[in-house]
Structure 1
Amino acid sequence: MDIILKNVKKKDFPVFQSLAKSLGFEIIEENEKPYNPDFVKEILEAREELRQGKGIKMTIEDIDKLWK
């Protein structure tokens, strides 16, 4: 059987860890990564390009024309 604890505070984790160890349980700690690393890389590259002046400015009308 698996038990998953979410949103455990750092100060409380040692308590759970010692309890699990005393009962002979195995602890597997996984940190969730909410974003795909490729997506994050793409966003960071786009920000850098904007800083270098490689972006374009669009008005609301220009954006409106794109989807019509």
Structure 2
Amino acid sequence: MEQQNIIIFEPSTSEETNALKAFAKALKLKSEVKEKPHNPEFVAIIKESQKQAKEGKVTRVKKENLKEFLGL
């Protein structure tokens, strides 16, 4: 039996991902999609923000005060 090669693509957009999936399907190639995990530091920041929001530790800005709040 001939040796099988593994080729890894890293698409940077959803359009590239969809094109590669369609290409593999058209050629009846076995394919597998693995998503890259998020950076653990980023995940920790998001979880902390979600916790703060649940605890009501948020800043609310009225639409008419938005420019002032942003310093524009």
TM-score after normalising by structure 2: 0.45
TM-score after normalising by structure 1: 0.47
